[in-house]
Amino acid sequence: MSENQQGEPQKDPFERNRKPKVPQMPKFNYYWIYAVIAVLFIALTFLPKNAAVKTTRIDFINRMLLAHDVEKVVVVNKSVAEIYLKKDAKGLDKYKELKDRRMLGEDVGPHYFFEIGDVTSFETDMRERQKGWPATQQVPIEYSTQNNYLGDFLFTWMLPIIILVGIWMFIMRRMTGGPAGGGQIFNIGKSRAQLFDKDGHVKTTFKDVAGLDEAKVEVMEIVDFLKNPKKYTNLGGKIPKGALLVGPPGTGKTLLAKAVAGEAGVPFFSLSGSDFVEMFVGVGASRVRDLFKQAKEKAPCIIFIDEIDAVGRARGKNLVQGGNDERENTLNQLLTEMDGFATDLGVIILAATNRPDILDSALLRPGRFDRQISIDKPDLNGRAEIFKVHLQPLKLAADVNPERLATQTAGFAGADIANICNEAALIAARKDKSSVDMQDFQDAVDRVIGGLEKKNKIISAEEKQIIAYHESGHAIVGWFLEGLDPLVKVSIVPRGVAALGYAQYLPKDQYLYTTEQLMNMMCMTLGGRAAEEIVFGRISTGAQNDLERITRMAYGMVTIYGMNERIGNVSFYDANQEYGFTKPYSDQTALMIDEEVRKLIETCYLKTKELLAEKREKLEELAQILLEKEILFQHDLQEILGVRPHDKVLEAAPAEVVEVIAEPASEGSQEAENPEA
Ligand code: ADP
Ligand code: ZN
């Protein structure tokens, strides 16, 4: 239902976005009402008083009363005396200040006023002063009560209400995320989906998505369906209502969903699962309803829900928290809506998550997200292709080679690669180059891996030595033990905030690990601390990150993979956090687990120290060269340590999925050897 350029909607008279024929009036600003009210209020309160001249009791008595000029006195609200002068008196010279008064109409008074203080004493005073005066000359005192209704009303009723409303609106605005989030309170139940219309917005096509060939084939069917649904429905087939894109962040899930919309030429609603979640009860469900209503109006179209686990988490498992009713209501509504529309309507829901295991099983049943399309981190070819896509807009020097860049960026996701290309361009621009060359890309890769290179970070010579031996320890253990990933690069160039050094490994494609392999991995990870202890006789905090990983690995081996003889072939893997605070084993078992983990780590540590003591010379040599060169590559290591003893196929190993083992402390980066993953 696109808009008609002539401004004449022909099909649908209720089309929401119809252009008004009359040019729009400038918007009336409601703040003017407040301004007018304020001015009126001020005028009414202050004007009448200005008409009378303020005076004092003494002046009144001496100048006016005793001169017999006063017609009458009116005491208002028992606090103010208003003085009315006699007709012939007010023109007198001594009352010349009366001429300056602002008056509307005839001058009937009052002419002066003053605060009397106490009424009784004022009355007594008046009586005393007029003692003996003839009755005709006695000045009468009248009393009146004037209510400032408007003022009272405003102050006692309106003001608190205005303040309350103001506070309420402020809070609402905050909660709905400011003007961008539909600032008006009445929009709180509206879906927050971002709509990319086919008229111009979704320009993404499959060409922009590099790699992901299998995933593309899968979604091709959806594109085809959106283009000509008849072909499928005629044969009685049913098109899936939704597909779940499963993969780590930054691998192009959003991009792919957008490309599907772009290819099919249909509108695209994009939102995140967390957009549904609000602290008000019922809001999430109402947003889901609104989203589907909008989508049906725009059908055929695609709804993309990023991070669906925010709403789609399995229901009713977490007993400790008492369950999140609001989230469950939202999820129920989502399920209902997905059941509610017929497939031939042409609304297809794509959702992304990287934790399909925690999703509610109802979401994965047929008729909902019955397809799962897995999107993995790109392999070598994939990375080269992603590089090609993102290199296109850059001005490149001749030496830039996407294939070589791909080999250096193992383990990177598409988003990281896009980031590297951008960084490289920025680095080149900072150096005033006319094109981006390979060195800029190298710097960009280094920066993305380890944060900004800190050339001026001051590290004492002593600390540097510790770091060098620590890294060398890892490298040597990794070199001589069997079944470990070959090391690509060791660096002790400080980077980022906490990274003091790092080692980069080259993992093989491997999904199953043996007990020995895992133990060797633990040894390698312990290598840093062991080297410190052997060489310096004392240890440092630099191994904290290593120890964290080792602890996780050891507990994993004992409690998840059944790799401990005493505990036996059991697995306490708690994928859905079902157990909460209660453990599925007895206290004795818990004690045993702890003992076995300690024993395991201790065994590994002893083995590591033994190995390093044996290779002490090599360790010294490597550390010295590392101190000198700061960065060592695989061939440097081979020169120093000789050919890796257990490497049968070093040359043939695919140069893929290098993961960074950050060193020491918490230097960001991935965990290469987390068996739980
Ligand atoms: P996800 O939704 O999986 O977290 P995105 O789709 O948001 O990831 O990807 C972020 C960015 O990374 C994209 O905008 C794109 O620039 C880049 N990117 C990721 N994967 C690819 C790919 N396969 N081809 C090209 N660019 C990609
Ligand atoms: Zn370490």
> Is the CB of 255 within 6 Å of ligand 1?
yes
Give distance in angstroms: CA of 246 to centre of ligand 1. Answer: 13
Ligand 1 pocket, 252 CB below 6 A? yes
- pLDDT exceeds cutoff 70 at 162: yes
Q: Which atom of ligand 1 is nearest to the CA of 385?
A: 24
Q: Quick one: three-class SS letters along 229-260?
A: HHHHHHCCCCCCCEEEEECCCCCCHHHHHHHH
Give dist(CA 48, CA 36) in Å, integer.
Answer: 19
Write down the pLDDT at residue 328.
81
From CA 270, how far away is CA 244, in angstroms rounded?
14
Q: Which residue has the higher pLDDT, 579 or 429?
A: 429
Phi, psi of 365 (to 5 degrees): -70, 155
Ligand 1 contact, 212 CB (< 6 A): yes
Each residue of 566-593: pLDDT tens digit?
Answer: 999 998 887 666 666 677 888 899 999 9
Task: Confirm or reject: Cβ of 420 under 6 Å from ligand 1.
Answer: no
Q: Which of 218, 471, 656, 663 is catalytic?
A: 471
Is residue 628 part of the annotated active site? The answer reads no
Counting ligands in written order, which one lies closest to the CA of residue 503? 2
- Residue 91 CA to ligand 2 center (angstroms) comes to 103
- Which of 202, 207, 251, 255 gets mutated to test ligand 1 (max ligand atoms within 8 A of its CB)? 255
Degrees (nearest 5) of the Cα angle 202, 204, 210?
Answer: 160
pLDDT at 554 over 80: yes
Q: What is the pLDDT of residue 22?
A: 41
pLDDT over 90 percentage in the chain:
16
What's the 29 CA to ligand 2 centre distance in angstroms? 64
254 CB under 6 A from ligand 1?
Answer: yes
Centre of ligand 1 from the C-alpha of residue 384, in Å = 14
Residue 391 in contact with ligand 1 by CB distance below 6 A: no
Cβ of 542 below 6 Å from ligand 1? no
Residue bearing the CA closest to ligand 1, atom 6: 252
- In which residue are the tokens 């997905």 written? 338
Nearest CA to ligand 1 atom 1: 250
Output the pLDDT for position 344.
61
Please name which ligand lies nearest the alpha carbon of 548.
2
The arithmetic mean of pLDDT across residues 237-263, rounded, is 84
pLDDT surpassing 70 at residue 180? no
- Decide: helix, strand or coil at residue 111: coil
What would you measure as the largest C-alpha separation in the chain, in angstroms?
135
Q: What is the pLDDT of residue 643?
A: 83
Q: What pLDDT, on a 0 to 100 scale, did the predictor assign at position 485?
A: 80
**3-state class of 495 per DSSP?**
strand
pLDDT in tens, 56-85: 888 888 888 888 888 888 888 888 888 888
| pLDDT tens per residue across span 300-356 | 888 888 888 888 777 665 555 545 677 788 888 888 888 876 656 778 888 998 888
| CB 209 less than 6 A from any atom of ligand 1 | yes
In angstroms, rounded to a whole number, what is the distance separating the alpha carbons of residues 639 and 621? 11
Ligand 1 closest atom vs CA 247? 3
Q: Which position has the token pair 């209400």?
A: 161
Q: Which atom of ligand 1 sits closest to the CA of residue 249? A: 4
Q: Which ligand is nearest to the CA of 470?
A: 2
Atom number, ligand 1, closest to the C-alpha of residue 415: 12
CA of 540 to the centre of ligand 1 (A): 40
Which contacts (CB < 8 Å, 24+ apart) does range 287-293 have? Answer: 287/189, 287/190, 287/191, 287/192, 287/330, 288/191, 288/330, 288/333, 288/334, 288/337, 289/333, 289/337, 290/189, 290/190, 290/191, 291/191, 291/193, 292/337, 292/340, 292/341, 292/347
471 CA from centroid of ligand 2 (Å): 6
Choose the weakest-confidence range: 88-102, 167-181, 642-656. Answer: 642-656
Q: Which ligand is nearest to the CA of 422?
A: 1
Query: Closest ligand to 379 CA?
Result: 1
End-to-end CA distance of the chain: 47
What's the rounded Cα separation, in Å, for the pair 440 and 448? Answer: 12
Q: Is 350 in the pocket of ligand 1 (CB under 6 A)?
A: no
pLDDT above 70 for 35: yes
Cβ of 246 closer than 6 Å to ligand 1, yes or no, is no
* Ligand 1 pocket test target in 251, 256, 376 with most atoms within 8 Å of CB: 251
pLDDT confidence band for 619 (50 / 70 / 90): very high
Name the residue with the closest Cα to ligand 1, atom 18: 414
Per-residue confidence at 499, pLDDT binned at 50, 70, 90? low
Report for 47-56, 488-497, 546-555, 659-668: range of highest mean pLDDT: 546-555
Write the residue with the smallest CA distance to atom 17 of ligand 1.
415
Other CB atoms within 10 A of residue 292 CB: 22
Q: What percent of the chain has pLDDT over 70?
A: 76
248 lines ligand 1 (CB under 6 A): no
Instruction: Tell the residue nearest (CA) to atom 12 of ligand 1.
Output: 415
User: Among candidates 189, 350, 337, 338, which has minimal Cα distance to 260?
Assistant: 350
